[in-house]
Amino acid sequence: ETITAPEIIERDEISFVSPEGWVGNGDTWTSPDGDVTLLFAAQDREPGSEPEAVMLPQGAVNLDREEIDTPLGPGAIHTIELTEATEQGVYEMHALVRTDDRIYDWWIAAETREALDAHRDVLDQVLASVQRTDG
């Protein structure tokens, strides 16, 4: 097992710091205990499109929604339950942040709601570290 030090990840005109001790592979990081996965995605925002419709999996049950402020601007954290299990797990917590031209999504995935909630602080830390890199 490689324990990774936090590193600055640069993607799509932003940077953020990966969680300490999590093992990274591309845009996916796995918790030290292997129970939780952190993922990142971004895409262009079509005018008038809602981040939820674009980024959240189809057919998921929305369990909770919480407004958040991030260095990029306002966003929301959605806790969802997937009706069809995926490789990453059954429960996901998506932090969706919308800028003028992009939608960013950091999310953690786990087999249980307890594991998901226990790693919420990791999602908060990653969000707090976000910076624009496009000047």
DSSP 18: P
Give the pLDDT score at 64: 97
3-state DSSP assignment of residue 66: strand
3-state DSSP assignment of residue 104: strand
**Closest residue by Cα to residue 22 from 101, 94, 125:** 125
The amino acid present at 33, given as its one-letter code, is: D
Separation of alpha carbons 76 and 94, rounded Å:
8
Encode pLDDT of 56-112 as tens digits: 998 899 999 999 999 998 999 999 999 876 666 799 999 999 998 899 999 999 999
User: Which two tokens mark 93?
Assistant: 């917590």
Task: State the average pLDDT over residues 111-115.
Answer: 94
What is the domain class of 8-132 according to CATH? alpha beta
User: What is the number of other CB atoms lying within 10 angstroms of the CB of residue 8?
Assistant: 11
Sheet strand arrangement including 8-11: 8-11, 14-17, 131-132
